Amino acid sequence: MKLRRHKQFLKDWNKTKLTDGQFTKFIQFSECLRLNKPLPPESKDHDLNGEYQDCKEFHLGGKMNGKILISLSI
């Protein structure tokens, strides 16, 4: 699976303040998606609807300033 950044990703990424633990989870979860492996239950991953129906969302835990969308294409 190819990971592709949404146009808004970099703007959102720059606004988001991740802890070291959240950043580590982001890398681990992104790698699982890239390798087409299931995410751990703690990620609460799910498909999105509407305009972002081709996207998935996962949770890194804790409060985050901003949202990050990653568009996944096969």
pTM score over 0.75: no
Amino acid (one-letter) located at 22: Q
Name residue 72's beta-bridge partners: 3
Q: Strand, helix or coil at 74?
A: coil
CB 4 within 8 A of CB 56: no
Domain 2-73: assigned CATH number: 3.30.2310
**Can you give the pLDDT of all 74 residues of the chain as single tens digits?**
666 667 777 777 777 777 888 888 888 888 888 888 988 888 887 777 888 777 777 777 766 555 555 554 44
CA distances from 36 to 27, 30, 33, 47, 55 (A): 14, 10, 5, 14, 14
